[in-house]
Every structure is written in C-alpha cells, then in structure tokens.
Amino acid sequence: MPSLREELGKVLAELGREYKDVTVITGDLGKSTGASAFEAFPERYFNLGISEQDMMGTAAGLASAGKIPIVNTYAVFLSGRAWEQIRNTVGRDRLNVKMVATHAGISPCADGSSHQCFEDIAIMRCIPGLTLVLPADVSEMKHAMRAAVETAGPFYIRLPRGEIPRIFHDEDGFQIGRARRMSDGGDVAIVAAGFLIPEAVKAEALLRKDGIRATLLDMHTIKPADTQTIVEVARQTGGIVTAEDHNILGGLGSTVAEIVCRDSPVPVEMIGIRDRFGESGELRELMEIYGLTARHIYNAAERVMKLKERS
C-alpha cells in the first residue's frame, strides 16, 4: 500500500522540477510528512522551525513577489495556529499560497487528541476565495497538488498520515470542483471524501449485496462545492449519508446539507466525529469507537431510507 510520506515527497519533487517558482515551507516536520524530499532543491526549501504563523506570513510574502509557496505541516497546527494569518493575509489578498496539511482527522491515532484535527474543514471553508480539497488517494493527491500549483489563489489540501489504498488511476479524470460519481443507484446516496472513501466504497458494496442501490459520490472538493451534482443526486435518491473524519459540525456533511436544504431538501445522515475530541489508540479501533466504518455508513443508509419513507 502506498505510503503517503513517500508519495507526497515524490509529488513535491516532481512539481519542484517542473515549476521553478515553487518553494516549500515546513515547520520542522518535513521528515515526518515527506516534504523534506524537496531538499533536492535546497535554495527553495525552508524549514522555518516550529513557527506556523511565521511560516504562513513568509509564504504570503513569497507569494506576493511571484513565488508559489507550498506550506506543509500537520493539519491541526497549519489550520489552527496560523488561521488568522490565513484569513487576514493570505485570504484577503487571495495570495498564491498552497497549504498542504497532512496528519488530518483520525489518522494520527496514537498521538492522541492534541494532534487529531477534526475542525480544519470547518474553519477553512469559511475563508472567501479559498479552494479546499480532500484527496481520497495518491492519485487524487497528485492531481490536486498539480491543480493547486497551476491555479491562482489560496488552496488547502487535506491529507491523512500513513498508508492509503489506491482507489483511482491517474487517468481517471480529476477536476477541481467536480464531484466524482463512483456508482449509480436511486435508493440512497453516500457522499464522502478523503480518508473515508475506502469505507464508503465498502459500504456501497454491502448495500448492493442486500439489494440496495446507492449512488456513491466522491466530493473531493469541499469548496467550491459541486452544487449541481449534489442537488441532482439529492433529487435522484431522496436521501443522503455523508461521511468524513471530521466533526459533523461544519464539515462535508454541513456543506451538503446547506446545499440541499434550499434546492432539494432531503434527509441527511452525517457520519463523522460527533463533536468531541479524539484520543490515543489503534487506528481501526478508533474508527470503530468513533463510528467511521463501512458498517456505520451502511446503518446510516438504512436510517436515511426509513426517513425517506416517512417524508
């Protein structure tokens, strides 16, 4: 199974070779995240130490002078510690700063609640002009990072840590802002992104085995959201389950609910972190405890279909 650390390093090195204006800024965690592979270009790699606010401000300065800084560290520190810098400097001037956050969600597992970031989607998506992407695998990550470098404006790309299974092939088209239909079915919809896509895929298969046809949507771009597809899917299925390793307050589920409640109100069941902090543990065990598995998505689908019947 591909190691995110290795693959991120490869993507960065590739982008660094192709784009001379790309610079990488890390917060002393480059070896952990894989960004240190960019040391192949020593004059463009800056480990600014454990200083996220300074990292973000420096990136802003670089971007204002024509560079394309990729800022990388753990999600909780990148989005949290530097939030006001992202909002007031990067955001207000729509600067070309590409934020690549690793170790998002439940993936830091053993590190515990201080490191498990369940809030970054919520606090990033309310910044005007920012593009927010949740790649599901290495292939989507490569596409997303390339798109980030090639598209003007601030980007936030949310990645987990560890090993992630291959879901897509590089040739399977990927477009920022276009949700990907992975299966079609009129009984219920599953809308997921990022780390929980493999679980969503398993859930779709389980439902199909039991005669339930689900539309599975990979909503990799939270912002700008593919409003059209989401409304279509809501109309076609009449009930949606969303799945994310993020707080159910303010994340992917909230985004979907906001969209459908005006143009196609349907019941929405949200799989995600139920507004609590995390804890240390083994990854699969934590996913069970926090309700983030295929079985939980399956059960949510059943509940949504019952709600569908009632309304």
Partner 1 sequence: MKHRPQDPAWGERDRLVLCKGHAAPALYATLAHAGYFDCEALVSLRKTGSMLQGHPTRQTPGVDISTGSLGQGLSIANGMALAGRLDGKTYRVYALMGDGECDEGQVWEAAMTANHLGLSNITAIIDRNGVQSDDATENVKKKEPLDRKWHSFGWQVLEIDGHNFMQIHHSFDVAEWTTDRPTIIIARTVKGKGLSFLEGDANSHNATFSEEDLEWAMEELRYS
Cα dihedral across residues 279, 282, 283, 288: positive or negative: negative
- Measured from the CB atom, the residue of 66 and 211 that comes closer to partner 1 is 66
State which of residues 9, 34, 69, 160 lies at the interface with partner 1 (CB under 8 A): 69
Q: What are the start-end ranges of the E strands in the chain?
A: 22-26, 45-47, 68-74, 98-102, 131-133, 155-158, 180-183, 188-192, 214-218, 221-223, 240-247, 268-273
Residue whose CB is less far from partner 1, 67 or 178: 67
Rounded CA gap, 232 and 252, in Å? Answer: 17
| 43 in contact with partner 1 (CB under 8 A) | yes
68 binding partner 1? (CB under 8 A): no
Complete edge-to-edge strand list for the sheet that includes strand 268-273: 180-183, 214-218, 188-192, 240-247, 268-273
**Considering the rule CB under 8 A, would residue 63 count as an interface residue with partner 1?**
yes
Residues in contact with 93: Cβ distance below 8 Å, sequence separation at least 6, in sequence order: 60, 64
Phi, then psi, of 191 in degrees rounded to 5: -115, 115
- With binding defined as CB under 8 A, does residue 44 bind partner 1? yes
Q: Beta 180-183 vs 221-223: how paired, if at all?
A: unpaired
Q: Which residue, 13 or 260, is less far from partner 1 as judged by CB? A: 13
53 binds partner 1 (CB under 8 A): yes
**Burial of 199 from C-beta contacts in 10 A (0-12 / 13-18 / 19+):** buried
Measured CA angle at 196 (ends 213, 300), to 5 deg: 50
Applying CB under 8 A, does 54 fall inside the site for partner 1? yes
Residue number, 32 or 51, with CB nearest to partner 1? 51
| Nearest distance, CB of residue 14 and partner 1, angstroms | 20
Under the binding rule (CB under 8 A), the answer on residue 88 touching partner 1 is: yes
The backbone region for 49, taken as left when phi is positive above 0, alpha when psi lies in -120 to 50, beta otherwise, is left
Catalytic residue among 7, 52, 140, 204: 52
Among 12, 22, 35, 48, binds partner 1 (CB under 8 A): 48
Tokens encoding 147: 């798109």
Question: Does residue 49 touch partner 1 according to CB under 8 A?
Answer: yes
Segment near partner 1 (CB under 8 A); pick from 62-70, 110-118, 241-249, 299-307: 62-70
Q: Can you tell me which residue has the tokens 């601030």?
A: 154
Verify binding: residue 264, partner 1, rule CB under 8 A: no
Among 26, 33, 58, 254, binds partner 1 (CB under 8 A): 58
Minimal distance in Å, beta carbon 63 to partner 1?
Answer: 7
Q: Which of residues 170-209 bind partner 1 (CB under 8 A)?
A: none
39 binds partner 1 (CB under 8 A): no
Question: Is 309 considered catalytic here?
Answer: no
d(CA 62, CA 147): 19
23 binds partner 1 (CB under 8 A): yes
Q: On the CB side of 39, how many CA atoms lie within 13 Å of its CA? A: 10
Sites of contact with partner 1 (CB under 8 A): 23, 43-44, 46, 48-49, 51, 53-54, 56-67, 69, 84-85, 88-89, 92-93
Residue numbers annotated as active site: 52
